[in-house]
Amino acid sequence: AQSVTQPDIHITVSEGASLELRCNYSYGATPYLFWYVQSPGQGLQLLLKYFSGDTLVQGIKGFEAEFKRSQSSFNLRKPSVHWSDAAEYFCAVGAPGDYKLSFGAGTTVTVRA
Amino acid sequence: SQTIHQWPATLVQPVGSPLSLECTVEGTSNPNLYWYRQAAGRGLQLLFYSVGIGQISSEVPQNLSASRPQDRQFILSSKKLLLSDSGFYLCAWRASGNTIYFGEGSWLTVV
């Protein structure tokens, strides 16, 4: 079964600085990979996804993620964060043909002025 | 386009009372549907998923049950709530390629 690890529980970043959130997965083949964002008290919104092809994936809100098979990673990046990016971010992995996704524990991002 | 709605958004219930959370999906047919829970400060826990009417799979033993009376309707229930049932409940549906989309969530506080 697949699994996901998000090593960072909480990250604080200054507004305008770059952001990178780490995600490591465990799966024998090429998985489906996702990043979601959750603002306080709201549901999860899909930021981006990777199924195959170009390993650098562009998403909404200026986010991108890079799939690195050799490192079993799918890290999320944003070059310049805005105060509205303060939220919790979840990485998820799915296996082709499986009904379910496995979610990481999440990383909370705080943006300071 | 597809949309997902769940209600109520917020619920405060006494211990031992029943629960019913509803979720509907529009703009698609025969979707896979899911109920997740987020307890305070914790990640997402998959509670139930359904691949069709009347077909429910439970992921963890608990005080909750789920039903799917119609193709695009998914209901989370309990006969008697426990304090530990408090949390944020999320309904979701699965699109192509395993992409899962979430509803707005329902806050349940058991007092």
Q: Using an 8 Å CB-CB cutoff, list chain B residues near A96.
A: 98
Tens-digit pLDDT profile for residues A24-78:
999 878 899 999 999 988 899 999 999 989 999 999 999 999 999 999 999 999 9
Are the C-beta atoms of A18 and A79 separated by less than 8 Å? yes
Residue B41: per-residue pLDDT: 67
3-state helix, strand and coil shares in percent for chain A, rounded to the nearest 5: 10, 50, 40
| Residue ranges of chain B whose CB lies within 8 Å of a chain A CB | 32, 34, 42-44, 46, 49, 51, 88, 90, 92, 94, 97-105, 107
Among A6-10, A95-99, B68-72, where is mean pLDDT lowest?
A95-99
Block means of pLDDT (10 residues each) for chain B, length 111 residues?
A: 92 97 93 90 87 91 91 96 94 88 95 97
Question: Hey, are the CB atoms on A100 and B46 less than 8 Å from each other?
Answer: yes
CA-based nearest residue to B22, from B87, B72, B57? B72
Question: Hey, are the CB atoms on B49 and A45 less than 8 Å from each other?
Answer: no
What is the per-residue DSSP string for A24-54? EEE-SSPPEEEEEEE-TTS-EEEEEEE-SS-
